[in-house]
């Protein structure tokens, strides 16, 4: 009899948990929808893209990982975040906020990293103080951030301090990512899949690992020249990966 009496309580608990999860998910979806609607209505977006030869960066990463065990290897995602942060140091106009009809550049770089939740949905918590982290620190912080995001253990600062957003959909086979800016931020960086493609080097045609990098910018805060300068700087860093250390 005791087992039969407890069964409805277990069912009630399961239903309550499911209802709470649905409400949380719906609330998150509504908040994102409201922000994206505001973004489309108020922000004049411009979009730029470039094709980057990732072979030098991946070969460099392979050499670094030869000295590490599997658990401590640096992933390409961390390398791309680090490269973007180094590029933002050189082109800081994209790292900040549009507030009271004026661009406010942030000295600290807190990129919001798009992370998929296990039960659906997407959240972009901030990788705090990425500007003072080296490549190793970036990998460690990224792994920790993903784990705590999916366990719902984020700090309030990680939900509010983003100065720019980085989204990487390459693992889903997407070639190019043209994001929508999350106000009051003024830019979104997108990375697509890294894949084999024909590549011209001098008079020779070869196969290289290539990736599409994109930028969505707020035309009130910056223009295409600034955006192009950022993508060119990002490309230069990935061709000379030691700059990321």
The three-state secondary structure class of 181 is coil
Looking at 10, 27, 42, the residue that finishes a domain is: 42
Query: In this structure, are 36 and 58 located in the same domain?
Result: no
Q: How many residues does the chain have?
A: 245
d(C-alpha 68, C-alpha 49), whole Å: 34
Burial class (CB in 10 A: 0-12, 13-18, 19+), 16: exposed
Q: Which pLDDT tens digits describe the chain residue by residue (245 residues)?
A: 444 545 455 555 544 444 444 544 555 556 556 656 666 668 999 999 999 999 999 999 999 999 899 989 999 999 999 999 999 999 999 999 999 999 999 999 999 999 998 888 889 999 999 999 999 999 999 999 999 999 999 999 999 999 999 999 888 899 999 999 999 999 999 999 999 999 999 899 999 999 999 999 999 999 999 999 999 999 999 999 998 87
Query: In this structure, are 148 and 52 located in the same domain?
Result: yes
Q: What is the CATH number of the domain that holds 77?
A: 3.30.559.10
Query: In this structure, are 191 and 154 located in the same domain?
Result: yes
pLDDT at 245: 77
Query: In this structure, are 12 and 60 located in the same domain?
Result: no
Sign of CA dihedral 63, 193, 71, 137: positive
DSSP state, residue 1:
-
What end-to-end distance do the CA atoms of the chain give, in Å? 65
Q: Is residue 57 a contact partner of residue 226, using CB atoms and an 8 Å limit? A: no
Query: In this structure, are 110 and 82 located in the same domain?
Result: yes
Residue 38's domain comprises 1-42
CA distances from 229 to 90, 107, 222, 225 (A): 9, 19, 11, 6
pLDDT at 118: 83
Query: In this structure, are 94 and 11 located in the same domain?
Result: no
Domain count, the chain: 2
pLDDT at 8: 55
Which two tokens mark 168?
């990487």
pTM of this structure: 0.85
Query: In this structure, are 51 and 2 located in the same domain?
Result: no
DSSP state, residue 163:
S
Query: In this structure, are 34 and 151 located in the same domain?
Result: no
User: Which residue do the tokens 């790292």 mark?
Assistant: 95
Query: In this structure, are 18 and 59 located in the same domain?
Result: no
């Amino acid at each position: 009899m005791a087992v039969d009496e407890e069964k409805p309580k277990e069912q009630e608990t399961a239903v309550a948990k499911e209802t709470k999860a649905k409400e949380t998910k719906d609330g998150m979806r509504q908040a994102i929808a409201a922000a994206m609607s505001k973004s489309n209505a108020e922000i004049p977006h411009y979009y730029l893209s470039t094709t980057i030869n990732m072979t030098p960066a991946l070969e460099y990463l392979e050499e670094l990982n030869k000295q590490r065990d599997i658990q401590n290897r640096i992933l390409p995602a961390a390398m791309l975040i680090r490269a973007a942060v180094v590029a933002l140091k050189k082109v800081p106009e994209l790292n900040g906020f549009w507030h009271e009809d004026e661009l406010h550049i942030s000295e600290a770089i807190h990129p919001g990293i798009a992370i998929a939740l296990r039960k659906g949905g997407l959240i972009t918590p901030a990788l705090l103080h990425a500007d003072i982290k080296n490549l190793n620190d970036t990998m460690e912080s990224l792994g920790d951030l993903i784990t705590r995001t999916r366990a719902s253990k984020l700090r309030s600062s990680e939900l509010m301090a983003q100065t720019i957003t980085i989204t990487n959909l390459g693992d889903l086979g997407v070639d190019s990512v043209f994001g929508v800016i999350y106000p009051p931020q003024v830019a979104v960086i997108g990375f697509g899949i890294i894949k084999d493609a024909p590549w011209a080097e001098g008079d020779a045609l070869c196969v290289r690992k290539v990736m599409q990098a994109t930028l969505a910018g707020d035309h009130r805060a910056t223009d295409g020249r600034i955006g192009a300068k950022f993508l060119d700087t990002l490309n230069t860093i990935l061709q000379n990966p030691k700059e990321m250390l």
